[in-house]
Each structure stands twice: as C-alpha cells, then as structure tokens.
Amino acid sequence: MSTVTVTPARRISPRASLLVALVVVATAVILLSMGRVPICECGYVKLWHGQVVSSENSQHLSDWYSPSHLIHGFLFYGLTHLLMRRWSLGGRLVVATVIEAVWEIAENTDAVINRYREATIALDYFGDSVLNSVADIGFMIAGFLLASRLPVWATVAIAVVFEILTAWLIRDNLILNVLMLLYPVQAVRDWQGGL
C-alpha cells in the first residue's frame, strides 16, 4: 500500500508569501516615487481614523474605507477561485495582491484623485499616504484569506453587513464609491452630502 502526501490546498507557500511581500514593497516604492507622503502630514500614525471629512482620512492604518478593501479580498478570492481553479491558493493571492496594488497606484494618480474630488463628496481628498495604501493591501489580503476559509454564505453576510453599516454611518461604501467614480448620480451625491 502506497502513501500519497497531499499538500493542504489552503496553505500559502513561502515563495508565494515572498512574492506578495515584494509586490507590497514595490507598490510602496512606486507610491513614494509618485510623491505620495509616507505617513500623514500631521506627523503621527493612528491605528484608526474615523472622521471621513478630514484631511487625515486615508492617511492612517485604518478608516471607514478599510472594510471596502476587505471586501476587495472577498471578491478577488471569488474571482480567482472561478477563473484560476488549477492555481494554488498562494498563486491566486499573488494575482489578487497585484490587482489591489495596481488599484492603489492608480487611485493615487492626479487623474483619479481629481475624479474623486469632482464626482464624489470627497472634496478634501488628496490621495492616500503610503502607509494607508499598504494597510489597504493588507486588508485585501486578510479578506482574501478569510474568504478562503469561510463558507460562502458567511463571506457574503460579512460583505453585506459592512456595506450596510458604512452606508448608514458614513453614507458611503464600496458600491457607492464605484458608482460615483464611474457614473456619478447627483441624487446620491446630495444624499452623501447630507442634503
């Protein structure tokens, strides 16, 4: 009788972990070279910043937009699970991290920052600090890994709760953010502005 050793499908290889780390470091270097500030210009780092209409929003480790990045991880896990079934979990995580990194870089270009300021209520938005962008990638990774271990119903439930909670508390969430960035609706902008 022969024995077959099976590598757990939910394990991330050291190679994949290294590639993920390299993507994160490369993203930070690119953002710094684009002129993004390393940390909040206020001069300190907070674990949580809860005031949305503030020059410190998107400058610290976490804020009301962190759940959106967790949901990115859920979505990227689902997408790579459907399209890349034969890939290892680590390989799919590398792909998800690259996608999130590309978004963080694109989000911090002048064109996208200006689009946010023109089309949304984010009038005081001047882009993310590098620390915040790296933390956002970390939230995506956490979401990806959570989705790989939770039942689909639990992942969907968490996403729905976060979307409802942030819509209720700050009048913004991932769905509204994408809508207002791609196809601004004045009624939504008025509601988000408290009108």
Mean pLDDT of the chain: 92
Decide: 27 and 133 in contact? Cβ < 8 Å: yes
Q: At what angle do helices 89-107 and 66-83 cross, to 10 degrees?
A: 130
More confident residue, 122 or 40: 40
pLDDT digits (tens, 9 = 90+) for 87-106: 999 999 999 999 999 999 99
**47: its two tokens:** 């674990």
Kindly list the domain boundaries of the chain, sorted by start residue.
14-39+48-192
Decide: 58 and 48 in contact? Cβ < 8 Å: no
- What pLDDT is recorded for position 105? 98
Residue 4 pLDDT exceeds 60:
no
Report the candidate in 106, 107, 103, 140 with the shortest Cα–Cα distance to residue 125.
107
- What pLDDT is recorded for position 29? 98
- Across the chain, the runs of DSSP E, i.e. the strands, are none
